[in-house]
Amino acid sequence: MATEAARTDVQAFIDRHPFSWMQWIVFVLCFATILLDGFDTAAIGYVAPSLLKEWNIAKPALSPVLTSALFGLVVGSLSSGMLADFLGRRTVLAAAATTMGVFCLLSSRAGSLDELIVLRFLTGLGLGAAMPNAITMMSEFCPSKRRALLTNGAFCGFPVGASLGGFLAAWMIPQWGWRSVLALGGTVPVILAILVVLLMPESVYFLLNRGRDVRRVVDILRRISPDAGRAGSFFLAERSRAFRGQRAVGVILSRHYLLGTVALWVTYFMGLVIFYGVINWLPVLLKDIGIAPKQAIVITALFSLGGLGALLSGWLMDRFHADLIVAALYGMTAIGIFAVSTAIGSAVMLPALILLAGGLMNTGQSSLGALAARFYPTEGRATGVSWMTGVGRFGGIAGTFLVGSLQGYGASLGTIMNVLAVAGLIAAAALLLKHRVYAAADADIAAVGAPGDSLSS
């Protein structure tokens, strides 16, 4: 029998050892997963002008194909979190990468708009499952003092992938056509799925929570430090004891977490209203005001590129009030989006302000994964993150249809940007409310229960 003195909290074990090569592998694979999510999600917006030309369709007909993947993203996000909390993070992550790869590859061979709509929906199932599980996996292998920095670093893959898609599309489409972009976006995720199966360990948080074989936990932690073999037992010293045996959905919708859950949903929703309203329609809108298609794609890609600021945001979140840091980013996003509307006629200021506004918006959006992962306990972490992204994906659908409708009514690019700026203000207000409630209540929430059960070796 292990002695009480030999019991070790798994997070304390991770915190007191240097970041290992195994954790770097987890980081790289999570970053790559989210990068491909960003690439495949944004790709359809970059090929949209080519679809108009090749299939001779009107712009309103683009809305279903632009949003079909988003509906798939909603279904994938809402279902994958519960599956990951039951089957494991790695299993669902590998399945998600395979799904988005296979159906994106098939999308490159679509022969009609209706066929493309169906295939983009199926691609979205994988896209929706990939990101939240990558965020959850990364957060559960991070040292406490660098959790937001490293999780945000992995989330930087999304804006990098989205902007990379634009730059590659601008180069590939003139040479090989729009299908080449989707073919690339389908091939790489399948390769990634194989690497996840071969190289990525399962989350030890998940294994401990599900009461799995202690030898498996020890074997994984030995890859962080050989000291794991000398521990008598591992346990989860979390605030979640009160939720033992409760379903993950019940945890995130419990009275302790409900208001914070809704605030995160609203914030993610509003962020995606902005992101998809811009990324799906800006190439077409810029073309309408006389900017060449290739240049329009590159300018749109600048909107995603700025999300690399999430590294600075993560550093700040680890040291100050995380809610306030992210709320400030959304408030500044609103100002930046409004500024874009004042520079429509400037060949210099327009790209610069799009880069600035996109940097602020994507930094805030990239920070929400870390914010949610640190907010929820192990029992509901994957579900909490995935439901935030799932419910939030309706914002992408709403933003795409909103901009399409405004354009149908003859609204100018400046007017559309002003409308999108309001979404940034709403997102900031939601996080300020969350901070006001949980800054005072955090001590009470943290007091819910003692350390979880241990596993003796």
| DSSP state string for 171-183 | HHHHHH-THHHHH
Query: What angle, rounded to 10 degrees, do the helices at 258-288 and 381-408 form?
Result: 40
pLDDT (tens digit per residue) in 373-395:
888 877 778 788 888 988 888 89
When computed from its CA atoms, the radius of gyration of the chain, rounded to whole angstroms, is: 22
Q: How many CA atoms lie within 13 A of 222 on its CB side?
A: 9
Residue 450 lies in a domain: no
Question: Which range marks the domain in which residue 54 is found?
Answer: 8-238+245-444
CA distance 414 to 238: 48
Tell me if 414 is assigned to some domain: yes
Q: Is the dihedral of CA 366, 368, 374, 378 positive or negative?
A: negative
Q: What is the pLDDT along the chain (457 residues), one digit of tens a residue?
A: 344 346 788 888 899 999 999 999 999 999 999 999 888 877 887 788 788 888 888 777 777 887 788 788 888 888 887 788 788 889 999 999 999 999 999 999 988 888 999 999 999 999 888 988 898 899 889 898 888 888 888 888 887 887 788 788 888 888 898 899 999 999 999 999 999 999 999 988 888 877 766 788 888 999 998 888 777 678 776 544 555 556 677 788 888 889 999 999 999 999 999 988 888 788 778 877 777 777 887 787 788 766 667 778 888 888 888 899 999 999 999 999 999 888 776 777 888 888 888 889 888 988 898 888 888 877 778 788 888 988 888 898 889 889 888 887 888 888 888 999 999 999 999 999 999 988 754 434 333 333 333 333 3
Q: In total, how many domains does the chain have?
A: 1
Residue 64 inside a domain? The answer is yes
pTM: 0.76
Confirm whether 284 is domain-assigned.
Answer: yes
Nearest Cα residue to 326 out of 128, 96, 142, 152: 152
- In a domain, residue 295? The reply is yes
70: nearest Cα among 98, 45, 105: 45
Residue 185 domain-assigned (yes or no): yes
8 A C-beta contact, residue 234 and residue 221: yes
Q: 10 is written with which tokens?
A: 């798994």
The per-residue pLDDT for range 7-60, each reduced to its tens digit, is 788 888 899 999 999 999 999 999 999 999 888 877 887 788 788 888 888 777
- Which helix H or strand E contains 234, and what residues bound it? strand 233-235
What phi and psi, each to the nearest 5 degrees, are found at residue 291? -90, 135
3-state secondary structure (DSSP) of residue 36: helix
DSSP 411: -
Q: For residue 270, give the H/E element and its range.
A: helix 258-288
> Do the beta carbons of residue 78 and residue 387 sit within 8 Å?
yes
130 lies in some domain = yes
DSSP 242-268: GGTT--HHHHHTSTTTHHHHHHHHHHH
DSSP bridge partners of 382: none
Q: Is 44 in contact with 69 (CB distance < 8 Å)?
A: yes
How would you list the strands of the sheet with 7-9, edge to edge? Answer: 7-9, 233-235, 454-456
Token readout for 334 is 């609103």
Residue 294 sits in a domain whose CATH number is: 1.20.1250.20
- For the chain, the distance separating the N- and C-terminal CA atoms, rounded to the nearest angstrom, is 8
Q: What is the DSSP string of 86-130?
A: HH-HHHHHHHHHHHHHHHHHHHTT--SHHHHHHHHHHHHHHHHHH
* Alpha carbons 53 and 60: distance in angstroms, whole number: 14
Q: How far is CA 452 from CA 170, 222, 297, 386, in A?
A: 52, 21, 51, 23
| Cα–Cα distance measured from residue 67 to residue 281, given in angstroms and rounded to the nearest whole number | 12
